Structure 1
Amino acid sequence: MDKDFLIQLTNNLYRLTLLFPKKEPLRYKMRELADEILAHCLTPGVKHNKHNSVVGDLEVLDGFFEVAKAQNWVSPEEILKLQENYSKLKEEFKTETDSERTLTLPLGEEKEAKDEFTPLESSAPCPAENQKSLKKSKTSSFLTGFIMLPAEENSSISERQEKILAFLREQGRAQVWQIKHILPEVTKRTLRRDFENLLKKDLIKRIGERNDTFYQIKTVQA
């Protein structure tokens, strides 16, 4: 995916929507979608989930193009040209998604691979006290080698917050919209609450402000 092409495509949409009525909601909704699509394309993450999200945004944007054409704010030819470019982008993502599905391990082989794997702790039965100790150890060492949390503190961290911490550890730092792309089913408001919770626990720190706000893991000084 060519970065310059994607940025130019987004700029073209901004120029086109400048011709819409100033207070027209469609003007800002289309820009927001274009921003989301650009961010999806330029943000590293799980390809399959990312492609599905982009295709969904592109489908919605295509519908907005149809609505805009019917309003006669600008010439239909200008809208159509930009719409076709986004349609090509959508087809490209669909092709990549289909290719990834084709390369997925067949169900029979996947089951066989799972059957061959035996978890270490299941190889020998443990007394009840040992089982409790093992679970406590797993909980407190989610970020082994990076930060260590007391078991009672970590128990209040949700699975979603653990994913946020893992992403921050891998990427170094991130903004809320980047986490939104790996957890598309979660609202930005919920993610902001997660970040506030992690800030209160002194697990992460905030850098910058407003649109330039980043979060990163707060390392423990030895």
Structure 2
Amino acid sequence: MEEKFLNPVRKLELSNQDSVFKNNEKETQSKNRLSNGVKLTNTVYSLLAFFPESDPIKNKAKDKALSIMEGLTLFARSQISKEKQDIQSQILEDIAVLLNYFKVAKSQGWISNTNYLIVSNEYEKIEKDIALSASFQQKQKIAPEGIQTPIESRPPKVSRRQNKILKFLEGNETAQVMDLQKVLPNITKRTIRRDLDELLESGRIVRMGEFNQVFYKINR
């Protein structure tokens, strides 16, 4: 069966970049994100038609695509900061796994490199959108006239992936990104590096070396 080219999902453009941080734009941004999530899920389903029916990846990829769409719905409706962070973490994890499924499909020749890049780029846009929304909510925590609301002194809670990273470092002293992929096999290097950056910012770990010889360890 000859694979037909699928047009990319186009993201609605904001008329003003600064309006992202305005209250009256937040609802519109959420609707756009959900609309794009539905369109992208339909695109994923179209591509999955080229997967062999007997291969388990096909159904697993469907489940992940639906999980991402459901997560976007919950993310848009949630008004609780902690809940939003958990949903965001789950969406990012699901996207990483789904894109790994599509990497396998591309290597097997089930989909073209072009269509893989289309799907990958559109999910990256969703990642950026929810990160921007989370950043907006953090800004809302700042009280008027530059007076910040009290912040607890305890360190921010880490995600499940970050907990796995910390446990691995506690048992192995130091590690590189490729070492951490052994305990996070379905997570991309980019996502692992983002988790490491957050752990660095919170002071839980330290980085040593440079270029290809970068190691991480627990900050004692």
Please report the TM-score for the alignment, with normalisation by the length of structure 2: 0.44
Larger radius of gyration: 1
